């Protein structure tokens, strides 16, 4: 198979694409892949390091308000479509797959103009503008949330999960608890706000540190690399340093090894994180970011709350007290935690990469 993959801007679009490519190469080693990304997105660094052929087009998103900058956006889209057409003609793919982000717009649109089959992956419960546009002529759509199916034509979309989840589920590495000074046999809460950290989440953790210090469970608190020094200073200012059951770290490099071992995950409601946690069947306390397009993280989180797999604390009410109450209620009630884990597992698709690849292959039959 010859396949072009396009998606970028954020890790939420890039890592599902990479997981799909990696699994496809495991299944079909002779597969030839070209990744077309944006000149300004994270993919321009991440994809080549993964050993995948990469080409770039210049594209940007529309401003929500009517501005002169949108004229530039239209010009870049048309130019990127023209450049993508040439790349596709040169590579001659059997199928073009888009995982979202502005860059997938001109690439898949160019493929559709050339009558090359296109397949879309939608990670969120709310369908993005680019995928809505591309879905008009896409052969198939794979979704990670059942709620997204209704946004597409009848029979066009199928629930496949998020391909990134399969890499986490299949991780074989062992996590060394001694590195954190914690005990492998003690129930554990993992708290993290993404690679950059989440300031309000970090502040809430600092405010409630004395309560966590006295808990019968242990806590791994990843602040984000850029926020670690600020958190350390805030802890000193509050005169409340972590006790032996709390580990405060900048980041966790081996998250796929740690996540299967924890009993509760606290963090943002990004599509990739949720996919990983549901594939593993983890209860969650979700603090959706209010700074994302269409407030899709809140809608992602609400879908898990409705399924009794998660609790949600929105940023407008987030404090040390509200967060600790949510965490403590789950961690001190083993029955509740087990029920939430069961419901979370029911939402997960542990073999999501294979499911999505099967969808792609079916388009070519």
Residues belonging to the binding site for UDP-N-acetyl-alpha-D-glucosamine are 10-12, 124, 195, 252, 297
Measured distance CA(44)–CA(48) in Å, rounded: 7
CATH numeric code, 2-162+350-364: 3.40.50.2000
Q: Where in the chain is the domain with CATH 3.40.50.2000?
A: 2-162+350-364, 169-347
Tokens of 334: 């083993």
Residues 6+ apart with CB under 8 A from 87: 4, 34, 36, 55, 57
Task: Collapse the DSSP code of 286 into the 3-class scheme (helix H, G, I; strand E, B; otherwise coil) and give the result.
Answer: strand
Question: pTM for this structure?
Answer: 0.82
* Domain 169-347, CATH class in plain words: alpha beta
Asked whether 191 and 219 are in contact (CB, 8 A), the reply is: yes
List the chain pLDDT tens, one digit each, 365 residues: 999 999 998 888 999 999 999 999 999 999 999 999 999 888 999 999 999 999 999 987 766 666 667 678 788 999 999 999 999 999 999 999 999 988 999 999 999 999 999 999 999 888 988 899 999 999 999 999 888 999 999 999 999 999 988 888 887 778 889 889 999 999 999 999 876 668 999 999 999 999 999 999 999 999 998 899 999 999 999 999 999 999 999 998 888 889 999 999 999 999 889 999 999 999 999 999 988 877 889 999 999 999 999 999 999 999 999 999 999 999 999 999 999 999 999 998 889 999 999 999 999 98
Cβ neighbours, 10 Å, residue 78: 12
In which residue are the tokens 């809430």 written?
Answer: 204
In which residue are the tokens 């801007």 written?
Answer: 9
């Amino acid at each position: 198979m010859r396949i072009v993959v396009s998606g970028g801007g954020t890790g939420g679009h890039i890592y599902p694409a990479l997981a799909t490519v990696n699994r496809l190469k495991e299944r079909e080693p002779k597969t030839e892949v070209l990744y077309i990304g944006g000149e300004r997105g994270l993919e321009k660094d991440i994809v080549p390091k993964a050993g995948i052929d990469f080409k770039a087009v210049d594209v940007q998103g529309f401003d929500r308000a009517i501005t002169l900058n949108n004229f530039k956006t239209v010009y870049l889209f048309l130019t990127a479509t023209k450049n993508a057409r040439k790349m596709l003609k040169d590579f001659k793919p059997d199928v073009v797959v888009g995982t979202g982000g502005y860059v997938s717009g001109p690439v898949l649109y160019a493929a559709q103009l050339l009558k090359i089959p296109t397949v879309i992956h939608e990670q969120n419960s709310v369908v993005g503008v680019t995928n809505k546009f591309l879905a008009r002529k896409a052969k198939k759509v794979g979704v990670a949330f059942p709620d997204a199916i209704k946004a597409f034509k009848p029979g066009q979309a199928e629930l496949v999960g998020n391909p990134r989840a399969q890499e986490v589920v299949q991780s074989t590495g062992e996590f060394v608890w001694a590195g954190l000074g914690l005990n492998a046999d003690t129930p554990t809460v993992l708290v993290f706000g993404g690679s950059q950290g989440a300031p309000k989440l970090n502040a809430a953790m600092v405010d409630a540190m004395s309560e966590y210090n006295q808990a019968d469970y242990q806590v791994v608190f990843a602040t984000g690399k850029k926020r670690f020094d600020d958190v350390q200073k805030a802890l000193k200012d509050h005169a409340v340093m972590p006790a032996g059951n709390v580990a405060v770290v900048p980041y966790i490099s081996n998250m796929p090894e740690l996540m299967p071992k924890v009993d509760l995950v606290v963090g943002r409601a990004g599509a990739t994180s949720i996919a990983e946690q549901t594939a593993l069947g983890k209860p969650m306390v979700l603090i959706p970011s209010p700074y994302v397009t269409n407030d899709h993280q809140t809608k992602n989180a609400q879908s898990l709350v409705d399924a009794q797999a998660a609790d949600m604390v929105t940023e407008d009410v987030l404090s040390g007290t509200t967060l600790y109450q949510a965490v403590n209620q789950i961690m001190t009630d083993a029955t509740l935690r087990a029920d939430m884990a069961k419901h979370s597992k029911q939402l997960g698709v542990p073999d999501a990469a294979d499911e999505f690849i099967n969808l792609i292959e079916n388009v070519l039959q």
